Amino acid sequence: MNETVIKVALYEDNATLRTSLTHLLQSSEEFEFLGAYDSPINILENSRIATPDVILMDVDMPLMNGIDATRLLKENYPQVNILILTVFEDRDKLFSALQAGASGYLLKKSKIIEIIEAIHEIYNGGSPMTPAIARKVLEFFAQPKTIQNKENDLSERELDILKCLVNGDSYKMIAANCYISMGTVRSHINNIYKKLHVNSKSEAVVKALKEKIV
């Protein structure tokens, strides 16, 4: 199988949407479809058997909600990319999902092509968001800034890269925009994680927004 094929799993309790997305993912040669589930209660076992590259995750599901499932999965399989696919547009759920480790947030009314593009984007290090959701992030980001917490002690270059992460840039885009190698990007991002006391890109973005670091 082509190494660029993306392994995708789906967690969605709406049977109609679950069936529709299953057919879409199964019919595309771009994806290796690992399965569709109506609850994430067994997500660790499912992911242990075949670790996905990307998970499409609903929020409101029986037995365990998608935000708790995201947090649980990222604690055990931090390399898995989680794309929230939900009807909820409120900021609390958005930031809760990002804080839990999700790297993207789409509304279910998104077009099929937008979902496919988001899977590729998140797999390649981006943070896809429905425009209405991105606006909420930008509105929060645009609020008056407070004095930067000196405890973070980020260098000017690290602040530039953190700002790129907030904007949803992939590692490749950051490398190109900052004229540095991918290895240097990863090194800076690891330092950012240590200084902000976070473990993922989404946690870094949430902290940057909440504490108005950039």
The answer on pLDDT for 61 being more than 70 is yes
What are the percentages of helix, strand and coil residues in the chain, rounded to 5?
50, 15, 35
153 sits in the region (left: phi over 0; alpha: psi -120 to 50; else beta) called left
Give me the domains of the chain, ranges plus CATH numbers.
6-138 (3.40.50.2300), 143-210 (1.10.10.10)
> Given pLDDT bands bounded at 50, 70 and 90, which one contains residue 203?
confident
Largest CA distance in the chain: 51
- What pLDDT is recorded for position 2? 45
Residue 126 has pLDDT above 90, yes or no: no
Q: In what order do the strands lie in the sheet with 6-11?
A: 31-37, 6-11, 54-57, 81-86, 104-107
Is pLDDT at 185 greater than 50 in this prediction? yes
What letter represents residue 80's amino acid?
V
CB count within 10 Å of CB 19 equals 12
pLDDT for the residue numbered 21:
93
For residue 67, the tally of other CB atoms under 10 A from its CB is 23
Q: How far is CA 64 from CA 41, 44, 126, 207, in A?
A: 6, 12, 27, 25
pLDDT in tens, 39-55: 999 999 999 988 999 99
Tell me 64's DSSP state.
S
**pLDDT one-digit tens code per residue, 96-115:** 888 888 988 888 888 888 89
Asked if the model's pLDDT at residue 1 lies above 50, the reply is: no
The helix (run of H) or strand (run of E) holding residue 166 is helix 156-166
Chain length of the chain: 214
DSSP 150: T
Query: 103 near 204, Cβ under 8 Å?
Result: no
Tokens of 67: 């935000």
| Residue 110 confidence (pLDDT) | 86
Note if the pTM is more than 0.75. Answer: no
Q: Over 50: is that where the pLDDT of 151 sits?
A: no
Which backbone phi and psi does 37 adopt, to 5 degrees?
-135, 145
Q: Which pLDDT belongs to residue 95? A: 82
**Helix 156-166 vs helix 201-210: angle between axes, to the nearest 10 degrees?**
100
**pLDDT tens readout for residues 6-27:** 999 999 999 999 999 999 999 9
CA 128 – CA 117 distance, rounded (Å): 9
Q: Average pLDDT of the chain?
A: 85
What residue type is assigned to position 159 of the chain?
Answer: L
